[in-house]
Amino acid sequence: MPASASGKLQFRSVTVADIDAVMVIERASFASPWSRQFFLQELQAANSRSVLCYSDGEPIGYVIYWELVDELDIHNVAVHPGHRRRGVGRAMLEGLIGSAAERGFQRMTLEVRKSNDAAQALYRSLGFEFCGLRRGYYSDNGEDAWLMERRLHA
């Protein structure tokens, strides 16, 4: 497991008690962040799941996703800017990929901004492939999103 700053990465589900820390990461990561209320609704949704990554007791990243019949649909991935380029996002996603495969899910999907080359490179390095385009997907500026997919079983 990669280390972030001085400690090993640890993982657990996001709880309501984590929302303030998650909002700090969210606001630092996105020009149009999700609202606190949206995160609270996500935590209550029947299909919604999450991974919170922390180091030395400090939350530094998260993934929000939905479990659908035979696929995981990733809704949001964020790493605090002070912890980027240290393998945090990769570690969260590798853990999620392994867990999904073990549990019998067939594929994982996500949308990513066409302009987000860094995220696209990470996803491609983890076996995700471009499989579609969602025109005008992002409501803040109408940017298109690439739909990416990773098959988990042949």
Q: Catalytic residue numbers? A: 111, 123
Q: Give the span between the Cα atoms of 103 and 91, in whole angstroms.
A: 18
Neighbours of 20 (CB within 10 A): 10
Checking DSSP bridges between strand 71-79 and strand 107-113, what pairing results, if any? Answer: parallel
Neighbours of 59 (CB within 10 A): 19
Rg, Å, the chain Cα set: 15
Contact 57, 17 (CB under 8 A): no
Token pair, residue 41, equals 């609704």
